[in-house]
Amino acid sequence: MTEKWQDDPEYVGYIEDLLATEAVQKLANYTQHVNSTRLEHSLSVSYYSYKLAKKWGGDARATARAGLLHDLFYYDWRTTKFDEGSHAYMHPRIAVKNAEKITELSDLERDIILKHMWGATIAPPKYKESYIVTMVDKYCAIKEASEPVTENMRRRWRQWFPKKQSI
Ligand SMILES: [Fe+2]
Ligand SMILES: [Fe+2]
């Protein structure tokens, strides 16, 4: 996960009220992608999406906040099944309901959360910011799941090809 967000006062200002809630802190109790907790994953998605929204002239505040709340659900997605639909369909809806208990959501923020599984779900995002979050979510999921493997490879590489000592 990225820790860079802690050094960005503008970003922290956008999300600190949400981050202080028990509803968001509880996400630390759930594993998301192999080596990351749901809270770490949500912070990464939120921060990277916020940076891209800023770069591309989007609503950075809404992107940061909805990015942090996009996976606000409390079950193990590997084992919990729903009669109403797949995990991909259900958890964005559950996240919106949970998010509305701790903050008011704008139409943009609701769309970001609801459509973040686009690709696995059919309804396309309505806003640029929603596209950013759904893409960043996929990027972070792959990065988090593959981190143990890439770290292992990096370690081996360093072992096999140590930095040249000056002769
Ligand atoms: Fe999700
Ligand atoms: Fe996610």
Residue 162's SS3 state is coil
Q: How far apart are CA 72 and CA 78, in angstroms?
A: 16
Q: How far apart are CA 121 and CA 139, in angstroms?
A: 17
> What are the tens digits of pLDDT across the range 77-135?
889 999 999 999 999 999 999 999 999 999 999 999 999 999 999 999 999 999 999 99
CA angle (129, 29, 138) in 5-degree steps = 30
Ligand nearest to the CA of 32: 2
> What are the tens digits of pLDDT across the range 136-147?
999 998 888 887
Model pTM above 0.95: no
> What are the tens digits of pLDDT across the range 9-60?
999 999 999 999 999 999 999 988 777 899 999 999 999 999 999 999 999 9
Between residues 150 and 108, which one has the greater pLDDT?
108
Ligand nearest to the CA of 41: 2
The residue type found at 77 is: W
Residue 37's SS3 state is strand
Taking the centre of ligand 2 as the mean of its atom positions, its distance from the CA of residue 99, in whole angstroms, is: 14
Statement: residue 167 has pLDDT above 80: no
- Helix 128-160 with 107-114: angle, nearest 10 deg: 50
What's the alpha-carbon Rg for the chain, to the nearest Å? 17
Q: Which structure tokens are listed for 121? A: 């779900």
CA-wise closest residue to 132 among 78, 70, 73, 63 = 63
The residue type found at 96 is: V
Between residues 96 and 161, which one has the greater pLDDT?
96
Between residues 44 and 152, which one has the greater pLDDT?
44
Taking the centre of ligand 2 as the mean of its atom positions, its distance from the CA of residue 25, in whole angstroms, is: 16
Taking the centre of ligand 1 as the mean of its atom positions, its distance from the CA of residue 166, in whole angstroms, is: 49
